[in-house]
């Protein structure tokens, strides 16, 4: 089956005081129809920047896609004009974020904001839009949608607001939903309910999902395939069972070891020593994880590992493996 989304050699740079720094560095992956792909890594690993690149929502004048291709449903998004992108965004591809309060407009009712999306992409009457808004709210598990449709965002709990965001995101039945830390701001019980809802909606609507999270517990629960990112690069990619049972990259192994027990809620990844290098401090050569890696060898500081197939459908970028050793002359 042809992929729904194909990201090829994506490089996204941020301009910091006149110099370009790659926040996403030569990233390639695919999302197949109906697949849920998890992108994991600590904050600062380029996960959100990657999704903003796909959505063409990088901060103007600061972030830009420097090279690479983003092919969605057979169309090269990089070659599209702003108005062409606007037709796709919110309709065929949509996105939900960590903090729904910041994406909902406080001065408009929930109904108004839902209808706005519908009007943008469909030819329907006001009456139809209101009915559809109510139906959408119902489909995301809101019990009294007729009442909620006339309420304002601040009248809702965090969990309800995230349900509303999901309703907005699926209003036009997108083929791809990008969810960036959709449950991070919610408490555990609500978190589980929202994940359950996402799963259900994915199945009912036959859509693909990119789920960005720092939480491998969420990945285990939700995803078919997992991409592990570190410092702007993919370091491992595999199906969810392989990644959990046969991780190859030392970073993945450490992430897995950092999954908390039920009673520890916060700072899930704090057990890995050290921090992700900042954009302006990225090592020029070698493995970007080397200064934190318990298995680092001298060559890790001078040779840049390449992402290679360690077995079928399992890629890793680590010099412990033959397949990651660059050929002569290759960066
Ligand atoms: Fe560790 Fe070296 Fe592998 Fe990087 S390349 S993850 S430093 S062993
Ligand atoms: Mg992020």
Please say which residue of 111, 146, 171 terminates a domain. 171
Quick one: 84 and 214 in the same domain? yes
pLDDT for position 244: 96
The whole-number average pLDDT for the span 266-277 is: 68
With a 6 A CB cut-off, is 303 part of the ligand 1 pocket? no
In a domain, 86, yes or no: yes
pLDDT for position 260: 57
DSSP string, 169-190: HHTT--SEEEEESTTTTS-HHH
Quick one: 249 and 114 in the same domain? no
In a domain, 84, yes or no: yes
Please say which residue of 262, 277, 292 terminates a domain. 277
Quick one: 251 and 222 in the same domain? yes
More confident residue, 257 or 234: 234
Compute the C-alpha angle 214/232/198, nearest 5°. 35
- Number of compact structural domains in the chain: 2
With a 6 A CB cut-off, is 250 part of the ligand 1 pocket? yes
> Ligand 2: distance of its center to the CA of 229 in Å?
12
In a domain, 298, yes or no: no
Cα–Cα dist 70/72, whole Å? 6
With a 6 A CB cut-off, is 289 part of the ligand 1 pocket? yes
CATH number of the domain where residue 20 is located: 3.40.50.300
Sign of CA dihedral 202, 206, 211, 215: positive
The whole-number average pLDDT for the span 272-282 is: 87
Percent of the chain beyond pLDDT 70?
94
With a 6 A CB cut-off, is 305 part of the ligand 1 pocket? yes
Pick the residue whose CA is nearest to atom 3 on ligand 1. Answer: 318
* Pairing label, strands 63-72, 225-230: unpaired
In a domain, 323, yes or no: no
pLDDT for position 272: 80
Pick the residue whose CA is nearest to atom 7 on ligand 1. Answer: 290
In a domain, 329, yes or no: no
Best residue for ligand 1 mutational test, from 316, 320, 321, 324 (most atoms within 8 Å of Cβ): 320
In a domain, 149, yes or no: yes
Is the ipTM reported for this complex over the cut 0.90? yes
> Ligand 1: distance of its center to the CA of 235 in Å?
10
**Can you name the residues that pair with 308 across neighbouring β-strands?**
316
Cα–Cα dist 237/38, whole Å? 10
Quick one: 64 and 106 in the same domain? no
Quick one: 88 and 183 in the same domain? yes
Quick one: 106 and 142 in the same domain? yes
- Of the listed ranges 108-117, 182-191, 253-262, 308-317, the one predicted with least confidence: 253-262
> Ligand 1: distance of its center to the CA of 37 in Å?
24
More confident residue, 298 or 188: 298
Please say which residue of 153, 171, 189 terminates a domain. 171
Alpha carbon separation from 92 to 102, 118, 125, 171, 305 (Å, rounded): 22, 13, 21, 10, 35
With a 6 A CB cut-off, is 293 part of the ligand 1 pocket? yes
pLDDT one-digit tens code per residue, 30-89 = 999 999 999 999 888 999 899 999 988 898 889 999 999 999 999 999 889 989 998 999
Residues with CB under 5 A from ligand 2 (ion): 48
pLDDT one-digit tens code per residue, 306-321 = 999 999 999 999 999 9
Mean pLDDT of the chain: 91
Quick one: 163 and 21 in the same domain? no
pLDDT for position 308: 96
With a 6 A CB cut-off, is 320 part of the ligand 1 pocket? yes
> Ligand 1: distance of its center to the CA of 250 in Å?
7
Percent of the chain beyond pLDDT 90?
75
Contacts of 280 (CB under 8 A, 6+ apart): 16, 19, 21
Q: Which ligand is nearest to the CA of 253?
A: 1
Quick one: 78 and 182 in the same domain? yes
Instruction: State both tokens at 126.
Output: 């006001």
Structural domain range at position 149:
102-171
The whole-number average pLDDT for the span 16-33 is: 94
The whole-number average pLDDT for the span 280-299 is: 94
The whole-number average pLDDT for the span 107-116 is: 95
In a domain, 76, yes or no: yes
> Ligand 2: distance of its center to the CA of 258 in Å?
18
pLDDT for position 306: 96
pLDDT for position 329: 52
Quick one: 83 and 189 in the same domain? yes
Quick one: 260 and 142 in the same domain? no
Quick one: 113 and 237 in the same domain? no
With a 6 A CB cut-off, is 318 part of the ligand 1 pocket? yes
DSSP 89: B
Quick one: 65 and 189 in the same domain? yes
Give the pLDDT band of residue 259 (cuts 50, 70, 90). Answer: low
With a 6 A CB cut-off, is 230 part of the ligand 1 pocket? no
Give the pLDDT band of residue 269 (cuts 50, 70, 90). Answer: very low
In a domain, 318, yes or no: no
pLDDT one-digit tens code per residue, 123-151 = 999 999 999 999 999 999 999 999 999 99
């Amino acid at each position: 089956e042809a992929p729904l989304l194909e990201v090829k050699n994506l490089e996204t740079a941020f301009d910091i005081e006149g110099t370009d720094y790659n926040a996403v560095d030569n990233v390639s992956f695919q999302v197949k129809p109906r697949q849920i792909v998890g992108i994991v890594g600590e904050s600062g690993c380029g996960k959100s920047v990657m999704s903003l690149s796909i959505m063409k929502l990088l901060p103007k004048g600061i972030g830009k896609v420097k090279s690479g291709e983003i092919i969605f449903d057979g169309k090269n998004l990089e070659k599209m004009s702003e108005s062409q992108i606007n037709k796709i965004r919110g309709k065929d591809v949509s996105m939900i974020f960590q903090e729904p309060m910041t994406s909902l407009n406080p001065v408009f009712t929930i109904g108004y904001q839902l209808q706005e999306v519908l009007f943008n992409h469909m030819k329907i009457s006001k009456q139809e839009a209101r009915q559809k808004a109510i139906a959408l709210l119902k489909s995301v598990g809101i019990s009294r949608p007729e009442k909620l449709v006339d309420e304002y965002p601040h009248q809702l709990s965090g969990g309800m607001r995230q349900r509303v965001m999901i309703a907005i995101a699926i209003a036009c039945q997108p083929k791809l939903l990008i969810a960036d830390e959709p449950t991070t701001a919610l408490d555990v019980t609500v978190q589980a309910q929202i994940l359950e809802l996402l799963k259900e909606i994915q199945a009912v609507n036959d859509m693909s999902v990119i789920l960005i999270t720092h939480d491998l517990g969420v990945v285990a629960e939700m995803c078919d395939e997992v991409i592990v990112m570190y410092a702007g690069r993919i370091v491992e990619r595999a199906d969810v069972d392989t990644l959990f049972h046969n991780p190859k990259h030392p970073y993945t192994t450490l992430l897995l070891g950092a999954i908390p027990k039920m009673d520890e809620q916060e700072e899930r990844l704090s057990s890995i020593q050290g921090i992700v290098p900042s954009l302006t401090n990225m090592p020029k050569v070698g493995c970007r994880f080397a200064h934190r890696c318990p298995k680092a060898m001298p060559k890790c500081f001078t040779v840049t590992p390449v992402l290679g197939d360690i077995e079928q459908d399992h890629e890793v970028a680590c010099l412990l493996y033959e397949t990651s050793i660059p050929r002569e002359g290759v960066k």
